[in-house]
Structure 1
Amino acid sequence: MFTPDPIQRHAGPPASSTPLRDYLSALPPGVNPAYAVLPRSLVEAMPLPWQQQLTHLLAEFHRSFAHLGWPIYRVVPSRRERLVDLDEEQLAEVGVLVEIDSDGELVYRDRSGTRIDDPEQRVVLVSVLDPIPGDYANANQNTPARGFPVPQPYPPSGPLPVQSPHQR
């Protein structure tokens, strides 16, 4: 049965036609402009319904793009550091050589020997120990031990409720 009343418009902003791009553009943890990394230990620690939904979405994604020649990815936890703050080992990792010129000044050069101008402003990625626990059960006390909070509708319609540890 139809009603003659007009359809109510949604009160919030219009839905985006690129919601995933919008979300990933904010660069949440594990995301850079080219890739999104999900630490397996955290994904496997999600509540079972979340794992089931994510499994379905990932299977559909991989089925859709199975025809591409997928490489094997090597993920290295890294952080941004100024070039001038690196030690010898880190400089070697990023492919930079340091020399002392005839004036006694430090000169930074890339692998090809080209001088790097303004090394104080050059920021590079250097590897670090992975801060994400590999075994969720052995996570530190700052990591929730009983899984993740109950999912909220997106976007949240008001302030999120605060849960005590006993409610999780």
Structure 2
Amino acid sequence: MRRAVITSAATAAGVVLLLSLKPHGNTPAPAIGSQDDTGPSGTAGEPSGGPAAPSAAPATGAPSAHPSAHPSVFPDASAASRSVTGGAVDTRYGPVQVKVTLSGTRITAVDVVQYPSEDRRDREINANALPVLNKEAIAAQSAHIDIVSGATYTSNGYVRSLQSALDRAGR
């Protein structure tokens, strides 16, 4: 009899906890840019709340970021600057969308237009991951970049949105 009461109470508590969880909404978050050191809170400097993710080198075979190294890859590097926004990619925790700034065919900046920011943990993870992804995209000059450990869903959404923007730009 005692076990039945404890089991029933634990089951009821579990059901209440599950029902109290709220799903992530699709509210747009403030943009995080590649040329801006401010996090989602608007404060400058390193994001707080844990160790920063290490930056990985571009994958082998990725084109050099310098136009003179591969002139055929960057034939029109002196052209005017333009921005192209990629499609919003829905992830488990919310949409991810990037805007790429190109000078000719060279990626000069990547700004994150939307990213998951519903709760404190989302903001903490993305404050660390998005600057790393921006730097890698600029270094690789493509969407062929490594994902950031601990931000797998955001990283995958970022790569897909970045590729969408590059496709729209004709790259």
Structure with max Cα Rg: 1
TM-score range, shorter chain: under 0.3
Q: Greater share of helix residues, 1 or 2? A: 2
Q: What TM-score, normalized to structure 2? A: 0.21
Q: Greater share of strand residues, 1 or 2? A: 2
Q: What TM-score, normalized to structure 1? A: 0.21
